[in-house]
Homo-oligomer: A and B are copies of this chain.
Amino acid sequence: MKFQALLEEIYNEVQPLFGQGQVADYIPALGKVDPRKFGISIQTVNGQSFETGDANEKFSIQSISKVFNLAMAIRIVDEQLWERVGVEPSGNPFNSLVQLEHERGIPRNPFINSGAQVVIDILLEHLDNPNEEMLSFVKKLRYEDVYYNDAVFQSEKEYGYTNQALVNFMKAHKNIMHPVDTVLDVYYHQCSIEMSCHGLAKSFLFLANNGIIPDTGERILTKSQTKRVNALMLTCGFYDQAGMFAYHVGLPGKSGVGGGIVAVIPEELSIAVWSPELNTYGNSVIGMKVLELLTTRTGKSVF
């Protein structure tokens, strides 16, 4: 019960931080969320579960879906992926066009928008119905209650000018093979996935377990592939605040502008936090703090 008590302690400790961040409002559908929502879920590789707050309420996972996206692509094309997207931290905001121009249409890594769009373009070569297969993939990871939020999808599409710019620009550089609208349809769908902290922690557990789903024993990625996805999350999972997260938390993880963050402690557990107020880098203020306190209190980190 150590974790449960610690969770409660941290849950209470961060309460004063409410109000320090801002709910994402670049699309109306996201702006309506209650800023006081707050949940934590920990799932361990040996089957324990520790949760508190709104851990079972669904929210928009946004960029966290880029990890599912990447895992699906690695299963299909493995290292070939890196011919069209890099593995380096970007040092720029997630939607920057500058670097893309300097690097002639090759995105820095699969966790910035342009990188995820290239990954989708690759998936489109191999999947007949990527939108359905994405949901099936998450369900296979032992979480049934996953779906696309149509209002968010429509809102992403309606206000998606920057993403339109990114995909068109890569198309001009011949790093997108499918029609721009086809790529963006999948992209906006992924951004609109809704899951709970419980669901996210559950579905990320294979990354804490060398690539195997603990419940079923099914292997999703090889041990080596798993380590590499974790490495990418650590170096690139938090936009241009990745170094800060590595420094203060020291875990591989991924954040989304819906206010969710998922992280893993290899061979131990996965943890998802949700609190919608974001800092200026687009990461959950309270989510970051919860994870920092957790690793500091437990002394656990990959370092």
Give me the interface of A with B, judged by CB distance under 8 Å.
Answer: 86-92, 96-102, 108-109, 161-162, 164-166, 168-169, 171-172, 180, 223-224, 226-228, 230-232, 234-236, 240-244, 246-248, 250, 252, 266, 296, 299, 301-303
Contact = CB atoms under 8 A, between A and B. Distances in A.
Contact of A87 (B108, B162, B166, B247): B247
Contact of A89 (B91, B98, B230, B302): B91
12 contacts: A87-B243, A88-B89, A89-B242, A97-B101, A109-B243, A161-B172, A164-B164, A168-B168, A228-B248, A235-B242, A266-B302, A302-B302
Chain A binding surface, main DSSP class: helix
Q: Which of A90, A91, A226, A247 has the most CB of B within 10 A?
A: A247
Given A88-B89, A97-B169, A223 B299 contact: yes
Contact of A101 (B91, B96, B234, B241): B96
Contacts of A243: 86-89, 109, 231-232, 235-236
A162 to B, nearest CB: 4
Contact of A235 (B100, B102, B246, B296): B246
Given A161-B172, A164-B180, A246 B224 contact: no
A164 B169 CA distance: 8
Nearest to A162: B172
Contacts of A169: 97, 161-162, 165
